[in-house]
Amino acid sequence: MGRTSRRTSRKRSKRAGRAVAASVALLLGGGGLVAVNVYANAEEGSDRPPPQSAGQQVSTISCPDVANQLPEVPESARGDVDRRLADLDSQITRAYTDFSRAADGEKDSVLGPLEEQRRGTLGEISDAMDRAGARPEGIDGMAPCTLRADDRTGRGQGGQGGQGGQGGQDQGEGQGGGQDQGQGQDQGQSANGPEAGDFVKIQSVRPNVRRPRDGRNASRGTFTTTCGRNENGKFNPDNVIVAPGVSNGAHHMHDYVGNQATDAFSSDEELANGETSCRNQGDRSTYYWPVLRLQNGKNEDDAQADGGGKDQNVGEIQTPASVTLKFAGNPRGKVVAMPRFLRIITGDAKAFTNGDANANASWSCTGFENRQLKDKYPICPKGSKVVRTFTFQSCWDGRNTDSANHRTHVAFADPRTGACPQGFRAVPQLVQRVVYDVPPGPGFAVDSFPEQLHKPVTDHGDFINVFDERLMKRVAQCVNSGRRCT
């Protein structure tokens, strides 16, 4: 358990001044920004942080997600628009910092200045799109934000979005909210989450995984690529898909396996020439997801760094016990090879305030993986490990390797039949399974945007296909032939 490396991963580039934060740290104090969270095991003894009141209610700032609501952005405007969208995220982060420091009766004072900033940035987005001949209508209406109260009893049924779930579609009967929350109810809570109500005993969740039956022409094979567990400690708070060219575009730290050249400034050419942690050197793909931290009061290296303490992500980063990257087939028919540099995001980093329409990552425990949770963290029994599963979209529009909202060029297959939407082609489906050996009970959380309160529903995974074309063709052939390849 715990981290095996604390090295900083930095891009060797012309951007000399851009710091890439390293191992994740714990920020103590900070003018009331962050308080130590919930778990201290028996081995920690007197190092256990003092608890806060378990009944503490936490509020956050909720703003319209402009990226999801914009019309198609012309290619010539995407660079400007992506940078302005990242500016909107930074504005919310700063406002949330002020919000967390404000007295209870003064928290709404952050909304006016935030709206003014957003209105100016939205105007810049409109201007950029106007220059490209596609000025959006009604964008000013997305400037105002509101305050939102957290709900300690949970926001829905934890069984939604099970393994293989189709972001936001009800996949089963798991009992997230209202279950016996078990351990940890009387332990302290972090100022920006999670809280005890975000956890549920996995034994109280009914089996909920459903998969479409394979048809006569199903592609039943698999291809597994082995790329390590990020033992070398490559982290940064960038997101080259959503915020290319923007340092700290994610405002939370990511684990990376596969391509070692990945950061916000990586071009396709740099990725193609980057080193890889994958055993098969023909796979230079980028696989990344938010780090998971054990919130045990232990300091690490980035207490004053972007993505860590500055963005209210606290605790000891956990190196996964295992990472499995498997490409599977389609229950209805054959798959085609993915195009090189195809970008796919599964899940929604802002699902707590956006709603769970695009939430898709799921949580479970070893020995219980027929029970998947979307909006709860699992409390695993002794001897069982925490499992995060990211099931990616497996239908491609046949033309684009990305889209303005990074979603519409790919789609999920129908959860009942496995068929792709009309006009889409089935591609090998990436399933990432990340396992952690952490103490049972509350006390861990994924990194998130500060205002997302480290909710499990905000978990997400990112993938850029940088397979050699010959190897990707072999992946498709293995899947279509029913073989199990590595």
Q: How many CB atoms lie within 10 A of CB 325?
A: 23
Q: How many CB atoms lie within 10 A of CB 213?
A: 9
Give the DSSP per-residue string, 89-105.
HHHHHHHHHHHHHS-GG
Q: How many CB atoms lie within 10 A of CB 7?
A: 12
Residue 350: closest CA among 446, 448, 259, 445: 448
Q: What is the pLDDT along the chain (486 residues), one digit of tens a residue?
A: 444 333 334 333 333 333 333 333 322 223 222 222 333 332 333 333 333 333 445 489 999 999 988 878 999 999 999 999 999 999 999 999 999 999 988 999 999 999 999 999 999 999 999 999 998 988 999 999 999 987 654 443 333 334 333 433 333 333 333 334 333 333 334 568 898 999 999 999 999 999 899 999 999 999 999 999 999 999 999 999 999 999 999 999 999 999 999 999 999 999 999 999 999 999 999 999 999 999 888 866 877 899 999 999 989 999 999 999 999 999 999 999 999 999 999 999 999 999 999 999 999 999 999 999 999 999 999 999 999 999 999 999 999 999 999 999 999 999 999 999 999 999 999 999 999 999 988 999 999 999 999 999 999 999 999 999 999 999 999 999 999 999
Domain ranges of the chain: 59-149, 157-485
d(CA 394, CA 337): 11
Task: Evaluate whether 156 touches 170 at the Cβ level (below 8 Å).
Answer: no
Q: Which two tokens stand for residue 249?
A: 């575009």
